[in-house]
Structure 1
Amino acid sequence: MRLLGYTRVSTAAQDAQLQIDALVKMGVQQRDIFSDVTSGTKVAASRPAMSRLLEHAVEGDTVVVWRIDRLGRSLIDVLNTVKSLQQVGINVRSVSDGIDPSTKTGRMMLGMLATLAEYERELIVERVNAGITVAQAAGTRFGRPVSDPKIIAEKLEIARTARQAGKTATEAGQLVGWSRATLGSAARVGDSF
């Protein structure tokens, strides 16, 4: 079993040394620490050092982090990362949070995080729905813009003329900025396109 460390800071101006020192103190060798300098907006699996760590880690290894939030951009991302590691037999340990899913207390802490993540998801949905309601009340329209039948008729006429001149349906559609499928839909099924 190896201990593999992971650190993350958001900008190059920040220093990961505090995290590295804590990992070394826990027994992680300096050569086994993977460090990302990237914003928390990227999901864990898409970060370069995390990707290398995932390629390097094998069943039975333990990924050690300074705090559990270093593993993800949100509670949901943290839990998804922990779950994906556990599914391939890789353990996780957080130094300052005391989270170790191999213990009863650690599993309880993860359970509480899962509950908080679900709460976070629900809050996000509520905020999005509230934003949509406010925007609609202010006159914002959602979805595709309403098509002007006159413009559609003009584009169809251009496409018909092009087809009569020997152009393919794809070429005729491209003349008016449509795909072949859009041209077919606009012309109604059965029309001569």
Structure 2
Amino acid sequence: MTVASGAQAVGWTDDRVELLKKLWMDGLSASQIAGELGEGVTRNAVIGKVHRLKLSARAKPTNTAPRARPAAARPAAPRRVAAPAATPISTMAPKPRPAATMPRPQVMGATALAIEPQMEAELYTAPAAAELFIPEDKRLSLLQLNEHTCKWPIGDPLTKDFYFCGQHSLETGPYCEFHSRRAYHQLEKRKR
């Protein structure tokens, strides 16, 4: 086995392996174990040895403090002061929280696509169009489609009533004239 330049091979003696097992079962992290073993043992070396030894079950980690996560910018809340020891807990009433009022839902993360109130009035909704009636003898299955037939699916694909339009398709696309208008409807440009 060759070692990359600048790295040293870890000598896993029986004593080191036993100490590794003990510290792992005590719940120490790989970094903490590497620090205990010392002499060039890295966190990755500890993780590799743990996997080769197939050590899985272990105690809860000794450091159970949750990692600090970056919090969203919030106004500073007043700090709560611990009650004196002489005050019974049952007499302490919880402070009511003021209700937060926001004019619109708070958007977390990227807000480039957030809907603003003036945009809501401009949203376009296509008018509901009636489906084209296709006689049963003109309905096609997937295997009957070709380059000249309309490939517009009609119905639920999980039922036996599912079929494709099957009318003659336009030269410019996969659909007939009716379904092309539905698929590629043009939004009317509004004058501002």
Q: Normalising by the residue count of structure 1, what TM-score does the alignment of the two structures yield? A: 0.18
Q: Which has the higher strand share?
A: 1
Higher relative contact order (CA 8 A, sep 6+): 1
Structure with bigger helix share is: 1
